[in-house]
């Protein structure tokens, strides 16, 4: 049946041959259509044939379908940049919306170049010490495109870590200074911790080396700590260094609400992020063959359940404490659940995912209120969503593990190291920027809005000034 179908459609047969997929009808090389035979002779064979069940990530490169899946997942995660831009713009004032767009644009642009040149090598190069020392300015050899697929997937993760900080530093940061930060986190801060936790993902390409945290049993499947807590703790450092927005705290020290200009944009952003997270978590299998294929649906369902439970947890918490089912906090509940499940998505049950997301939704409400109380001004709740709930998700790997392979001690060590490394280095980076080129805009610029003064144009022409 298959043989007749391919014989009737030579083009499909050529595609199958080029993809390297075996067909039982052609296993003996008998009666293959001429077009397929020619394609098979001229196709470039992979340098090495790998076992599809191998845990080494470079095995995935031997199967084009895995490269395709990894690139599709990378595109989904890339689209999360649009989600972050919408959430951050919606939760802040109209007079700064254009500045938010530019920071998200530049996080990805600067991050892509910096991570390709330096960050990837530090994170995934051969590690004989504190970080990698090879694979700078990544290139792939002809016939082996897996390094490029893996680079693209890891680049969108690095950009995510960087852009998390944008929201916490919104409405008062100099644009040029933010660009310097974006380079610093994607070149050094994120890759170094990533090397400690994920170096072994690169498998034989880096000589089989592994980071010291993963060698001690630390597990973070898709990045609750590696990506989200790194971004969240860097956001905490930035918010502290900047100080609160003008008018955020009254003379009595109590926080005042500074409403964002569009819950519509914020809601759109959350749905975009929710969708992109299927690429973030399920895409971290980097394969649909072998074990990766067996895990994908499990991970996707766990991701969705945790996000939904996060909404419910935040909704109940804010409704009970304020008497209102707050929209913004419920949106952050979805993100909290997603961040919480990112590390344990591959080693917990569906019921465990619901519990993790529900608890994350409760945590984010009280965390946001805590940071307001200690006068750390975070306009979008990034510190709580990504830093705090990222830590929770990393610990949940051990608390809800159903595989028997997780250690609570190793998870607590990873959480502590992530905070210590990221917060201290980010504080140092922001301090250098603050006392050299300056970190915060002048008072009159902050009052008028960053769009016009920093970029020469308003996101909403002749409108922002009337509603800020």
Token pair for 380: 């979008």
| Alpha-carbon torsion angle 337, 227, 102, 108, nearest 10 | -130
Phi, psi angles (nearest 5°) of residue 127:
-110, 115
Q: Which residue has the tokens 């997603």?
A: 338
Closest CA to 378 of 366, 368, 363: 368
- pLDDT for residue 29 is more than 70: no
Question: 82-86, 243-247, 316-320, 461-465: lowest mean pLDDT where?
Answer: 461-465
β-sheet bridge partners, residue 249: 255
- pTM, two decimals, is 0.86
- pLDDT for residue 27 is more than 50: no
- Helix then strand count (H, E) for the chain reads 21, 0
Residue 208: count other Cβ atoms within 10 Å of its Cβ.
12
- pLDDT for residue 361 is more than 50: yes
Residue 252: count other Cβ atoms within 10 Å of its Cβ.
5
Q: What is the mean pLDDT of residues 195-222?
A: 92
Report the distance separating Cα 363 and Cα 333, nearest Å.
9
Q: Name the maximum alpha-carbon separation found in the chain.
A: 86
Q: pLDDT value at position 50?
A: 36
% of the chain residues with pLDDT over 90:
76
Structure confidence at residue 58 as a pLDDT band (50, 70, 90): low
Q: pLDDT value at position 35?
A: 36
- pLDDT for residue 443 is more than 80: yes
Token pair for 320: 């009970």
Chain centroid to Cα 177, Å, comes to 22
Residue 442: count other Cβ atoms within 10 Å of its Cβ.
11
Q: pLDDT value at position 31?
A: 42
Q: pLDDT value at position 43?
A: 32
For 262-296, how does the pLDDT look when each residue is reduced to its tens digit (9 = 90+)?
999 999 999 999 999 999 999 999 999 888 888 99
Q: pLDDT value at position 194?
A: 97
Give the CA angle between residues 392, 366, 268 to the nearest 5°: 80
Question: 108-117, 198-207, 353-362, 412-421: lowest mean pLDDT where?
Answer: 198-207
- pLDDT for residue 143 is more than 50: yes
Residue 28 makes CB contacts below 8 A (sequence gap 6+) with none
Q: What is the mean pLDDT of residues 387-409?
A: 97
Residues in the chain: 468
For 147-185, how does the pLDDT look when each residue is reduced to its tens digit (9 = 90+)?
999 999 999 999 999 999 999 999 999 999 999 999 999
- pLDDT for residue 126 is more than 80: yes
pLDDT higher for 318 or 24? 318
What are the CA-CA distances from residue 392 to residues 96, 313, 357, 398 (Å)? 32, 14, 10, 11
Report the distance separating Cα 394 and Cα 219, nearest Å.
8
Which runs of consecutive H residues, i.e. helices, occur in 282-326? 290-322
β-sheet bridge partners, residue 132: 127
E strand or H helix at 101, and its extent? helix 97-114
Q: Which residue has the tokens 């995934």?
A: 124
Q: What is the mean pLDDT of residues 1-10?
A: 37
Q: pLDDT value at position 49?
A: 36
Q: pLDDT value at position 463?
A: 57
Structural domains of the chain, with CATH: 2-42 (no CATH), 57-453 (1.10.3430.10)
Strand, coil or helix: 220: coil
């Amino acid at each position: 049946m298959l043989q007749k179908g391919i014989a009737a459609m030579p083009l499909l047969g050529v595609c199958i041959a080029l993809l390297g997929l075996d067909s039982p009808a052609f296993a003996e090389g008998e009666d293959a259509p001429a077009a397929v035979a020619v394609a098979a002779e001229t196709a470039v064979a992979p340098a090495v044939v790998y076992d599809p069940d191998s845990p080494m990530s470079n095995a995935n490169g031997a199967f084009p379908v895995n490269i395709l899946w990894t690139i599709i997942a990378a595109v989904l995660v890339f689209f999360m940049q649009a989600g972050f831009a919408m959430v951050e713009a919606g939760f802040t004032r109209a007079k700064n919306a254009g500045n938010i767009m530019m920071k998200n644009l530049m996080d990805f642009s600067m991050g892509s170049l910096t991570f390709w040149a330096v960050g990837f090598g530090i994170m995934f190069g051969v590690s004989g010490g504190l970080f990698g020392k090879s694979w700078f300015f990544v290139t792939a050899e002809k016939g082996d495109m897996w390094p490029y697929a893996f680079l693209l997937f890891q680049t969108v993760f690095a950009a995510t870590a960087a852009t998390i900080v944008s929201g916490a530093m919104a409405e008062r940061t100099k644009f040029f200074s933010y660009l310097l930060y974006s380079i610093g986190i994607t070149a050094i801060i994120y890759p170094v911790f990533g090397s400690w936790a994920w170096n072994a993902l690169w498998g034989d390409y880096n000589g089989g080396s592994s980071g010291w945290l993963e060698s001690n049993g630390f597990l973070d499947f898709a990045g609750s700590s590696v990506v989200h807590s790194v971004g969240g703790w860097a956001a905490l450092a930035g918010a502290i260094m900047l100080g609160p927005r003008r008018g955020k705290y009254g003379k009595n020290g109590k926080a005042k609400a500074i409403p964002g200009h569009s819950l519509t944009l914020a809601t759109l952003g959350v749905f975009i992020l929710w969708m992109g997270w299927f690429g973030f978590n399920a895409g971290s299998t980097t394969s649909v063959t072998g074990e990766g294929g067996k895990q994908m649906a499990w991970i996707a369902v766990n991701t969705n359940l945790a996000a939904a439970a996060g909404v419910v947890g935040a909704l109940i918490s804010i409704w009970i404490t304020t008497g209102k089912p707050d929209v913004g906090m419920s949106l952050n509940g979805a993100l909290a659940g997603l961040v919480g499940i990112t590390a344990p998505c591959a080693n917990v049950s569906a019921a465990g995912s619901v519990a993790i997301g529900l608890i994350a939704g409760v945590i984010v409400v009280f965390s946001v209120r805590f940071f307001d109380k200690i006068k750390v001004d975070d306009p979008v709740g990034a510190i709580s969503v990504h830093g705090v709930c990222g830590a929770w998700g990393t610990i949940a790997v051990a608390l809800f593990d159903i595989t028997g392979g997780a250690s609570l001690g190793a998870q607590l060590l990873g959480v502590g190291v992530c905070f210590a490394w990221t917060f201290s280095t980010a504080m140092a980076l922001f301090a250098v920027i603050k006392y050299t080129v300056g970190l915060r805009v002048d008072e009159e610029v902050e009052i008028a809005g960053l769009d016009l003064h920093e970029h020469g144009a308003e996101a909403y022409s002749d409108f922002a000034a009337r509603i800020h």
